[in-house]
Structure 1
Amino acid sequence: MDASLAGERVAGALLTGLYFAGAVIAVLYLRTPADVTLFWPAAGIGYAAVLRYGLKQAPTIAIAQLLLHLFVVPVPSTFLLYSVASNSVATVLACAYVHYSRKQLQFRINDGLLLLRGGLLLGAISAAIGTVGMLQGDMIPTGDLPRVYLQWLLGDLLGITAVTPSLLFLFNINRRNTTHLMPPEGGRRERGMWALLMLLALLAAFYIGREGSMYPLALASLPLALLLWSAARYPPIFTACATMGVTVFLALMLGLGAGGFQRPETLQDTTLMMGALVVHSVIPMLLVASYQERFNVMAALHHRATRDPLTGLLNRDAFEEQARAALGEGGETLTLLYTDLDHFKLVNDSASHVAGDEMIRGVAALVSAEFHDTALIARTGGDEFAVLARLDAAGANARGRRLLAAIEAMRVAWQGQNLGTTASIGLTTSQPPHMAFDELLSKTDAACFEAKELGGNGLFATEQDAEGIHVRTRLMHSAMAAREALDQRRVELWCQPIVDLRSPGMQQTHFEVLMRWRDADGNLRSPAELIAAAERYRLGPRLDRYVCGEVLGWLEAHPEAAAKVEQCSINLGAATLTDEDFSDYFANRLRRSTLHPEQFCLEITETSVVRDMTRTRHFIGRMRDLGCRFALDDFGTGFCSFGYLRDLDVDYLKIDGSFVRDLDHSSLSEAVVRSITEIAHLLGKRAVGEQAETELQLQHLRALGVDYAQGYVFQRPQPIEAFFGLPEKT
């Protein structure tokens, strides 16, 4: 407590000194004690200090102001109280307004405009109190009241726009909760050249003014141009400090009449000069805030595209991409470890999925702690982790066994229980030139399965029994649940409406076909397992062929239902887009059907598109020639390159549901949804918000211009018979 109090006292003393120094600079503008300074940087210093450290630092403003009048600028006693109150009270009220409007400030345009509004409020209040005090102290005549008020307000505002941004950056530089800032693009040499050019521009303005030129202000555009360059190339703190330095320099030259410049004498000249300086100090910061917002959105999209949201590790697609690159480079020994938790389903069933998530996070931390310095680490499935390490077989084996021991010893406290688990690890080492990633993964996956078959809580390397691994791989492919479900026709069609937010119609006119399947006991199961198995073992085209055939067959058998359909959306997997047999099948099936191709919309995902862009474009072109529509599903979670959208002929962008669900409380999600919607409209496409669950989310979607929405707020998925109001089949 004593150390904290001492720290606050030191901070208070430093802030008092800083405010006092800013006030002393402003004194240079004064000709008489009754004059009003054209530039009051102390206002920006006090504003930043109270915003950052809270109201407890407000007394430093009053103390510094008293010191100024006692030792530097004596004033009438009747004015002293007004002078102190004008600065301290106005700062407190302005900061209270900012904190009431936004609890936590971030570096973005909206928050910058909020600070600017607070600065205007500060200047207006301070000017009102100060001018009343000057009248009471007989320092100005009543007729000068408008001039003094406006000059006081602009002086405070210029001090705020010039000084506050840079001080807020400096005050927050060591805080961990600040927004991640853009990495610098320009190197030291470029920044050195920038500083030299800025110095030359300012010296040129000073020299030309001294020579008596009538147009020295023509050079004022050069510092602004250089500041815009800084906003585009350098970190925000660099631009903020540069803007402060340039604005202070120009304000001193213009306000003091230095370098041949004439000090403004009339109210009109003063207003024009100070207004120009305010704009000069605001524009670079607005630009750099705009760049920062775009950087934050793209960084968030990239993070979602490459990271598992639960653990923060690489996701499967990003891991596969980076692993292929590492194997392609060659040059060193690499070992792939595949970790699968044993009987993890029991944790979810006996406790809850929340408890299971806690355990997954704990295991992820253990994997990261063991391999972080030598490997690519990913969560590739519900309870599966992959590690590609720059280790030989012996080193990877030793670390793998340490990891198994750590997982076995780990406990997750949950509602009075201590939950534990074990894991099985498969391991394959590859020497340069490396085998293909698919082959390496297949061997390692089979080794992991072998470790499970041997009782779990163990590590199995492919070198231990290469022939056994080969046999195990064949057995795994022959026993897949997806193949069995397809063979026994246990896949069912379910539907969910897609609603036009501007003119909602019948729910049966526009909908998406979803899948459900039943296990051998007749229990209804989620499609996630079936789809994952199909993708993993290359059964995607067969599964999609089955679904498309079932949809067409059902609608053909129910013409009264088919007549209501304007758009029926069907999902296609990544492998299907590059399968020529499926393309031929679906084209021929549509030609034989009584249904119109325009009634069907094929949904594909971002990640499936980027795997083979050429074949995907060929497939889309062929289906569009028939009349089919296309939608890009789960947009925002894949590789998120907006550039390829110009060459991808789709009709709809379906915004991933994770963004829609966060609209109520996440400004980042709002920015992402807005960006995707604007890009969709710019390219002549429609935006669809997925997984809308509440009316408030619908209001947000409408306000952001999203065209369609889909989710529980309208209807949960239903069997196709119930969706069209027909008796369900038994």
Structure 2
Amino acid sequence: MAVFATGLVVTVTMTLFLLKLEYDRSLQQTRSDLQTLGKTATPQLASNLWLVNTESIHSQLNSLLQTRVVQHALLVESDGQQYASGQELNIGHDVVTESFPVVYLHPLTNKEVVLGELKLSTTLSELESRLYAQFLRLLLLEGLGMATAALFFLILYHRLIARHLSHIAEYTRHFNYGLLSSPLHLQRTVDKPDEMQTLVDAINEMRGNLQRGYREREETQRALYVEKELAEVTLISITDAILTTDHDFKIKLINPAAEQLTGWSTQDARGRFVADLLCLGGDLTPDELYQVLGRARDDLKAQNAQKAMLLNRDGAKLNVEYAAAPITDQDGQVVGLVLVLHDVTEAQALTEKLAYQADHDYLTGLTNRRGFENALVIAHQQVLLDHQPHILMLLDLDQFKLVNDTCGHLAGDELLRHVTTLLQGLMLPGRSILGRLGGDEFGVLLSNTTHAEAQVLAERMLHALAQFRFVWQDRPHGVTVSIGLVKLDHRCASPQEAMSQADVACFAAKDAGRNQLSWYSSDDQDLLERHNEIQLLATLKEAIEQNRFQLYFQAITPMNRIDAEIPHLEILIRLIDSNGRVITPGAFIPAAERYDMMAQIDRWVIEHSIKYLADRVHSNSPLPQLAINLSGKSLNKQTLAFILQQLDMTLVPPYAICFEITETAAISNLKESSVFIETLRTRGCKFALDDFGSGFSSFNYLKTLPVDFLKIDGSLVTDIADDKVSRQMVIAVNDIAHSLGCKTIAEFVENEAILHELAAIGVDYAQGFYFGKPAPLV
């Protein structure tokens, strides 16, 4: 409809424009015709007026009307007389009048004389009627043309544009995220690169962008949901209390841990100032809390953990560590804060408990070795700086092991508690520290005490424990104590030296018959030797812990070629002290035996000897047979289990190992020794009885000791070349060994003469400096 209206307006406008042009042209033509007629008629009229030829004037005026151009002619003389012809016309918009002066050229004077004025008038009504009719015709023709063109345009517009626009409008009208996967296509067979296709491509590109944006939004929303769920689950699962606040420190959210810690629910806490929850008592004030939160907010920086004691809503006392951090938006503006509280109440109580336990004995409640040694360090400093007299006592119960072994550990623990109570009642108030140093060993540190006072106190402790009777399951047990005392003065180099000296004095008291006290004196030679042994004992412990032993060997040489195929080596041990010096066994074995450390040393030798054999197995090297010495303390089930474990773990052939035991050790516990030997011989190990022949009483036990070798005591071998008695004793030992199926090994072979005699007697192996001195195994 708009197209038709537009076409009509255009048609009317164009027709009027054309008619206007035609009207102007016709008007101009009419005026031009009137001008032509007027200029032609005025000379003749001027002559007729001059001659006063009225009839000619009328005739001439009528002739003007015959031209069909002039419809009214009026001649007005100068004196006002008028001559008119035709119908007088009313002056209007459709009347055109042209005026012409009537001038006569006088023939005599040759001057122009104005005789009057000629007015020629005509109407445009006929022109207007003609133009109107022409307007109607043009309007009709142009209207039909425009209508036809408009109709054609409409058809073409609908075909090329309107229906596609309608399709696009319908597509966009129903456009939603569900149709993003369906692209827009025009309803035509061939895509043309025109403006419509450009629009479709733009819409499809927009669809693709929306689809990608929608997909990204979906992924982002899904990720945000996951993150939200994760954050909520994490917040719920975190055992620390979490409180979030707004910019003004008002609570927005607290997690379950915070609810439990503070006693406030999320609903009750929301909107309250954080100080209302946390500053109900204790040492955390609102000003201090807001100062920490303010720094986190203003500095945009997390604040390090602070410690505080709080009272929650229920009045419970809590020790916490709290820290604050700002929460910012995308623009970096602070929108809130997060406050984390870690409850350290139990941890702090545990720390205090552990600190107490670190310095106190769990059984008796006394100061333990660590706490006692710390007190001794302080006392030693006071002695050096202030010359304050201090005395150190070491107490060792004499019958504790008997009670512990016969009645059990419960009885032993109860005995220690009774002894503790007894000793605490004897302490000097304010001047003594009583501690349990381990096992059945106690220590007493006295300050501002004289030698006589310490002597009296020690005697009172001896008397009190001697009178004490410990009853367990209706059986009484006597308990005594050995006490070693040492005075702390400027001559005492260190607290460790003081402990060592007191230990020496305590051992001296035990050696003196127990239930004794002994003062340490640097002038006492026996105490000095015992002191050296104790220092060596510390060296032995360090050597075991720091692996400062070294294996040596001495060859055992066969007397015949058949046995020479397999090397036989006796394993020996050396101690490497802190200065790198090599210490021989004679210097430390007695101390190790005295202080029950031989079993530990034996295990070290067993482990490293078997490791040496295992390394040779892995390197495909020939295996020697190693003779490993065992002390009497190692002939037990524990060492037996250890040896079997080492053999199973390394897969070393048992036949490559021979254990040497002394006849004294074997005979002292014959039953356990027999089980030990029999078990390992069953696995394939060999056994040698060392130092045999030093006493003939041992002949009675050879039948019950299943050994493979007898090592003839060196004291018999050294004199064999010169002493017939020694030679006969060696012959006897050798004959008895062979009769029992054992081979013999002669020790201390130092020269060729001894070797010659042994060969003549028929001894199987020889060992001594003649073949070489001990050397490092690796």
Name the TM tier (shorter chain): 0.3 to 0.5
TM-score, length basis structure 2: 0.33
Q: Which has the bigger relative contact order, CA under 8 A and spacing at least 6?
A: 1
Q: Pick the structure with greater CA Rg.
A: 2
Kindly indicate which of the two structures has a greater share of residues assigned to helix.
1
TM-score, length basis structure 1: 0.35
Kindly indicate which of the two structures has a greater share of residues assigned to strand.
2
